[in-house]
Amino acid sequence: MAESFDFDVMADRQVDHARKWDEKIIQSKFPGTPHDFIPMWIADMDFPAAPCVRDALVRVAENGAYGYTSAHDGFYEAVINWQRRRHGCEVKRDWITLSYGCVSTFHYLYQAFCQPNDCVILNTPVYDPFGYAARHNGVRVVSNPLVYRNRTYTIDFDLLDAQMAVEHPRIYLLCSPHNPAGRVWSTSELVQAAELCARHHVLLVVDEVHSEHVFEGEFTSALRLPERYLDNLVVLTSPNKGFNLGGLKTSYSMIPNSEIRRVFRHRLEMNSITSPNVFGCAAIIAAYNEGEEWLDAVTEYLGESYRQLAAFVDERMAGWEIMPMTASYLPWVNVSGTGHDAGEITRHMAHEAGVIIEDGSHYVANGEQFVRLNVGMPRHLVTECLERMANHQLVG
């Protein structure tokens, strides 16, 4: 019998000291925010994790042994089966390397494949750690602005071709599905990107973290590209968005080419990224082996919250234009029609409405006219945020 899950109930976010709900952090960002604020900013969800994940963590916690562990057979089997079942990818065990979160892995990738002053190309706006990981390592960011038209983003492949020819980047880091906006790239877009990388000898790195919540269209993993592209590919992912496990700091990469793998693993070893987190490993295995029903249910819930939010924004928020979101739980809204930029809108909403939303200008580049919302919370809170924002609009 199908299990039922109640996403109208939230976890107690004081217990995990969630940054998202931390009043000190919020007051330092937005002084004067009312105490009854509701956070729609940091990208995690307020629901309790899947029961199978909680059971697995309780088992480890109650057993009482938290010593050094290893990425054992159970971890590799869980990843291989998950990638096959959910994404149609045939991943070989050798390709998989566990690491401590995708964000720290961006840093190791830049360290492994770039020298200071080399560059990476990013489609902007994009998840800000893509950019700051480069900056932390002396790597220049070349921005390939996404083209915004008819409420959607497309990649300017002619510009990308020209930039690769002139700038000779080491890495092209693609977010698939894209954050922000939850845009699922088509197979032909992925092929175009892979073809340009092959032609210009640029390493293709694809972050697939947002591939677990897809509402519309079909997500294609880069691992399903034609064989000839697999030799120039690094795929990064984790269950951290899908299953809401970001605080466990566990992720993995899949790298078909043995030389690229060797260089990457050497960098991990130089930083002692070896023995995994004992809870992170247990959680991935439980999520992948037993969490599918929960994931489908939460995806449905998020999809419905998003549809309600999109309808509300269209009807009630003057000057706000929401982008159709086909993946993730982070709606992206063009606020240029209000006559104010994202910074002004986010400050105003924090102060006046007590709703904390994300300023799109944090997204490396080209995000100044956008704000990002988060529907990863019980629906009544989404509704309350919307009502508060509608009652405190900043227009003209």
Ligand X SMILES: Cc1ncc(COP(=O)(O)O)c(C=O)c1O
Name the site residues for ligand X (rule: CB under 6 A). 43, 101-103, 127, 175, 179, 207, 209-210, 238, 240-241, 246, 251
Comparing CB distances to ligand X, the nearer of 102 and 141 is 102
Distance in angstroms (rounded) separating the CA atoms of residues 375 and 325: 12
Look at residue 183 and give its three-state secondary structure: strand
For residue 192, the minimal CB distance to ligand X (Å) is 20
Comparing CB distances to ligand X, the nearer of 241 and 261 is 241
What is the number of other CB atoms lying within 10 angstroms of the CB of residue 257? 16
For residue 280, the minimal CB distance to ligand X (Å) is 10
CB 221 within 8 Å of CB 235: yes
For residue 207, the minimal CB distance to ligand X (Å) is 5
What is the number of other CB atoms lying within 10 angstroms of the CB of residue 54? 14
For residue 87, the minimal CB distance to ligand X (Å) is 16
Tell which residue, 333, 319, 325, has the closest CA to residue 371.
333
Write the DSSP assignment of 54-95 as a string of letters.
Answer: HHHHHHHHHH---------HHHHHHHHHHHHHHH-----GGG
For residue 236, the minimal CB distance to ligand X (Å) is 7
Comparing CB distances to ligand X, the nearer of 43 and 193 is 43
Distance in angstroms (rounded) separating the CA atoms of residues 242 and 209: 8
Comparing CB distances to ligand X, the nearer of 240 and 305 is 240
Sheet arrangement for strand 370-372: 321-322, 332-334, 370-372, 358-359
Comparing CB distances to ligand X, the nearer of 238 and 369 is 238
Tell which residue, 161, 108, 297, 159, has the closest CA to residue 305.
297
CB 63 within 8 Å of CB 24: no
CB 120 within 8 Å of CB 143: no
For residue 371, the minimal CB distance to ligand X (Å) is 16
Comparing CB distances to ligand X, the nearer of 317 and 371 is 371
